[in-house]
Amino acid sequence: MEVSRRERGTSITVVRRMTAMDAARNVQAHPGRPLAARGSVTQIFGVTRPRNRVPAPQPTARFDVMPFVIWTLVVASVIPWRVGVYFSGSIDPVVVIKAALGVGALGLAAVVGSPQRSGRALSPVGGASLGLILIFAAISTFGGAAANDLPAAAVSSIRLVILAITILLIVRRHRPASLLRSLLVAFAVFGVISAVSGLPALSSTGRLFGAFPPLQPNIIAMLCSLPAIGIVHDLVIARRAWAPRLPVLIVLVGIVALTQSRTGLVALLVAIVLIFVFTRRLDIKTLSAILIMVPLTTAVLFYSNLLTQLAQRGEAVGRGISTLDSRTVAWGAVLSTPNDTWARWVGSGLSVKQVAVVGQYWTDQVLDSSWISALAQAGVLGALVMAIWVAATILNSVRARRLRSFAFPVLVFTLIRSFLENGLIDSNLMFIVFFVFALLIERENLLSGLTTVSRSLPHVEPYRSAQVSSIAFSRNRHSFPSTRPKRQRPPKGGIE
């Protein structure tokens, strides 16, 4: 249907969203008014093509409260509440409360952001990551049954599955920017609160331990490093304002430094360098900050004993890597598992966090490596599943053009920490981060694939597929043309 405006001398082709009777009734009700005074053409017909289109303002970034609440419950359900205590199958108040928090987060994730409430369709998410996690959980549960520890292994696997489904629902029902911003804020809140509560004991311990909640230095470094990486990405890639973000960045990096987490600091530095690698061009503020920080950091590192203190961490000279020596003892015990046992191939369950050691003055040693933990919990088969998941996620992150500048550095950061820390596939902060980005990358690549397929299809006029009852009106009342109508001089009288 064509609408003519004599004062402009042009025609506006529109798609009809009302019936012919409604349009005729609108014209008859106001015969003396011009078309613009009867109501917006967009309101009557749906689509217009004005001569000078004013670009719509871009939506400003806003903070969504409900994703933050869900992430707060999720983080509270996975962080340790007690020092040196691991779940062994027994039920106590702490276990019950953490389970209630996890189930509550799952319930909120299933309700908040639903299509009925938000009016927005669910985002498609691939099932590869979730499928591999379910396979890993099944293998570890079978291993726990083979090791006569089925209750603890089953409960740990159920916790992992609940956490994975909760994250899947959050990713499907919320925008990537919203859920990532809420996740990083939740991490920062827990990390800063725990760090501030542990400051009074810093002088006696030498490292920053948390008091409320009682978190280890490596966990505090994990909680503060991810928001720091996000702020650096905002400043360098997104070019956001420096004034409100730079003080927060300094506080977060300072907390990570006070934890003296060597792996965390190295991983954070590598992630920041990768963000700069993805930068196409630097603005004057970023370039000035680099020119100031590089000489200053070099001077602090080489003209102070900071590196020595970080390497020794209050221990005697030559014993600064004693923690790595302890780790290798546990790793050797896992790697020496006989090949003719179930534990070698399917592990002993997700509840395994320690391993018995021989020839030392201690009897048990924490595994402190996600990869060695995978061998102990799910055997060779589970470690192979985890390796496939990690490799596929990191490789696919390079293909995700809109996410790779942030996803790839974060994934590399998490991968570096996984070699010396537990939790890559477990009810752990590391799993939350890696699984969130794995799902976002799958969704990005899935949508990119759908776009590529749709572009390869023959072009179909949008009004023919979307409005099957629409009719193109002209003076002779022709039906829909098979091709797009040619620009012709409109008949007198406008709409007929």
**Every domain of the chain and the residues it spans:** 1-54+461-496, 65-451
What's the confidence (pLDDT) of residue 359? 73
Task: Give yes or no for a contact between 172 and 118, defined as CB atoms under 8 angstroms apart.
Answer: no
CA atoms within 13 A on the CB side of 29: 10
Under DSSP, is residue 3 helix (H, G, I), strand (E, B) or coil?
Answer: strand
Beta-strand pair 354-356/364-366 = antiparallel
What's the confidence (pLDDT) of residue 440? 95
Rounded Cα distance between 262 and 476, Å, is 80
CA 84 to chain centre: 29
Tokens standing for residue 358: 């021989």
Residues 6+ apart with CB under 8 A from 483: none
- The label of the residue with tokens 């911003």 reads 181
Task: Give yes or no for a contact between 369 and 327, defined as CB atoms under 8 angstroms apart.
Answer: yes
Rounded Cα distance between 151 and 313, Å, is 40
Could you report the average pLDDT of every consecutive run of 10 residues in the chain (496 residues)? 43 41 51 45 39 42 82 96 83 92 95 62 79 97 94 94 96 92 97 95 88 93 97 91 91 93 93 91 81 81 72 56 72 91 95 84 84 95 97 94 94 96 94 96 79 49 37 39 48 40
Beta-strand pair 2-5/10-13 = antiparallel
Cβ neighbours around 438 below 10 Å, total: 28
What's the confidence (pLDDT) of residue 410? 97
Under DSSP, is residue 478 helix (H, G, I), strand (E, B) or coil?
Answer: coil
Rounded Cα distance between 125 and 110, Å, is 15
Rounded Cα distance between 79 and 429, Å, is 7
What's the confidence (pLDDT) of residue 147? 93
Under DSSP, is residue 438 helix (H, G, I), strand (E, B) or coil?
Answer: helix
Residues 6+ apart with CB under 8 A from 386: 132, 136, 370, 371, 374, 378, 424, 425
Name residue 366's beta-bridge partners.
354
Angle in degrees, CA 201, 205, 210, rounded to 5: 55
Rounded Cα distance between 361 and 364, Å, is 10
Rounded Cα distance between 424 and 372, Å, is 11
Rounded Cα distance between 462 and 397, Å, is 33
Query: pTM value?
Result: 0.77
What's the confidence (pLDDT) of residue 481? 43
What's the confidence (pLDDT) of residue 398? 92
What's the confidence (pLDDT) of residue 126? 75
Residues 6+ apart with CB under 8 A from 93: none
